[in-house]
Structure 1
Amino acid sequence: MQLPASFTRLALFVSTAFSGLVPTSTPSAASAKSMSTSPASSTNDASRPAVKWPEPITSYDVHVYWLPSSKKQRAEAVAMYRKAQQLFPHLLFGHIHDRPVGPHPYCMYEIDIHKAEDFSRFVPWVALNHGSLSVLIHPHSGDMVKDHTEYALWLGEKVPLDVGMLQEYQDYLTRRGEL
């Protein structure tokens, strides 16, 4: 079966975006303290129930975009990426893409949030530090199209994603029984 070119681009993005990547480290006491959002966070976390994602959400992605022609925005994006790695080393940081990839029409990188409690610390930090960059925050609910459209949150200007490419990939995975 011949796959559409857009599907091939998306499959390549999915297969390479995080190949071989792991969280950069475990949080140090200093970085964990800097992520505190209230005095209660310094109490014994074992006594508090674990925060869970509401069903059917399993995780969130944060995509940070910049224009390919803007060296200033690229520098801003890389500085934000490095600062986020320092403050949130336990998150999964994707590659920095200096060209459009998959359904994303601009340069970008992705940071994955797998724990609900990290969302409440990381997303407010992104809201205050994204500067001139556009940011897409979306869940993984099992519906890629809705995740990137109806369920998506935007900081800064909304970027026009290639939703048709997402639909093709979702249809392909559904036919294979992977969704």
Structure 2
Amino acid sequence: MAAPDFYNPPISAYPSPLTGYEGKAPLGDEKNDDGKSLKNEPAARSPAYDAFVDPLDRGRRGGFDVHIYYFQANPQQLEYARALHERIRRDLVPELRIYRFWDRPIGPHPVAMFEVNLFTPAQFGAFVPWLAIWRGPLSALVHPNTTEGGGAADPVGEIATERRNHSQRAMWLGERVPLDFTIFDKMAINAAAAVASGNPAGFSGDSEKAAAVDAIGQT
């Protein structure tokens, strides 16, 4: 029997989107006045409009990171990326958190980039559509930050969650930029060794992990 994929669980491992809706009456096929869209039953406003749903991080890291990539050897992309970075700082801060303008690849990111953090659905709803128009020739990775990882007690699970958030759960604006996931694999190997030694919490303070996490998400 093949070993399970550590980073991509089988479909049976996903919670059902209909958990909590069991036993509801079937939905109808009635159309709205446009003759195309489906008519839904009246309902209260979803709390997802006001706060990120679990397990998205509602703390200091924020629910989503946006990495905006440019080819550092391309003068036109470099100029545009610098202008976009400045525009975001002038127009969309202090609501958003934005980091330094990298001039080289870092962590799993194979080309230069800069990062923006989103803390609320309102910020997400404002920034992502804005970026869809203003990203120009650049690509952007939008990935969640979640809190369902194992933390200090299960560093391997924590790294698996981080990798999954950067891959399976990722969204892209523009062309997809292949990330270098070997950084997660190396972290997982080191974390597994720490667990085997009986000191899983020791890995959380390890300088190598701290540097790697800083390169993955600059929080």
Q: Which residue of 2 is the match for residue 129 of structure 1?
A: 134
- Say which structure, 1 or 2, has more relative contact order (CA 8 Å, 6+ apart): 1
Structure 2 counterpart SS, 1:144: helix
Q: 1:61–1:111: 8 Å Cα contact kept in structure 2? A: yes
Q: Which residue of 2 is the match for residue 41 of structure 1?
A: none
Q: Which residue of 2 is the match for residue 24 of structure 1?
A: none
Return 5+ residue gaps in structure 2 as ranges.
1-46, 58-62, 150-160, 205-219
Q: Which residue of 2 is the match for residue 156 of structure 1?
A: 174
For residues 170 and 126 of structure 1, the distance between their equivalents in structure 2, rounded to whole angstroms, comes to 33
Equivalent residue runs for 1:21-170 within 5 Å: 51-58=50-57, 59-89=63-93, 90-141=95-146, 142=149, 143-169=161-187
Relative distance call for 1:153 and 1:171 in structure 2 (3 A) is farther
- CA-to-aligned-CA distance 1:41-75 (integer Å, 9 cap, x gap): xxxxxxxx771111111110000101121011011
Between the aligned residues of both structures, percent identity stands at 32
Larger radius of gyration: 2
TM-score (norm 2): 0.55
Relative distance call for 1:88 and 1:53 in structure 2 (3 A) is same
Per-residue deviation, 1:116? 2.3
For residues 123 and 171 of structure 1, the distance between their equivalents in structure 2, rounded to whole angstroms, comes to 35
- Residue type matched to 1:53 in 2? F
Structure 1 counterpart SS, 2:172: strand
TM-score (norm 1): 0.66
Per-residue deviation, 1:150? 0.7
Structure 1 counterpart SS, 2:115: strand
- Residue type matched to 2:53 in 1? P
Per-residue deviation, 1:149? 0.6
Relative distance call for 1:125 and 1:68 in structure 2 (3 A) is same
Structure 2 counterpart SS, 1:118: helix
Q: 1:64–1:135: 8 Å Cα contact kept in structure 2? A: yes
Relative distance call for 1:86 and 1:133 in structure 2 (3 A) is same
Return 5+ residue gaps in structure 1 as ranges.
1-48
Relative distance call for 1:111 and 1:70 in structure 2 (3 A) is same
For residues 188 and 53 of structure 2, the distance between their equivalents in structure 1, rounded to whole angstroms, comes to 22
Deviation beyond 6 Å, 4+ runs, structure 1: none
For residues 100 and 76 of structure 2, the distance between their equivalents in structure 1, rounded to whole angstroms, comes to 19
Structure 1 counterpart SS, 2:107: coil
Q: What's the Cα RMSD here?
A: 2.1
- Residue type matched to 1:96 in 2? F
Aligned residues: 131
For residues 172 and 117 of structure 1, the distance between their equivalents in structure 2, rounded to whole angstroms, comes to 38
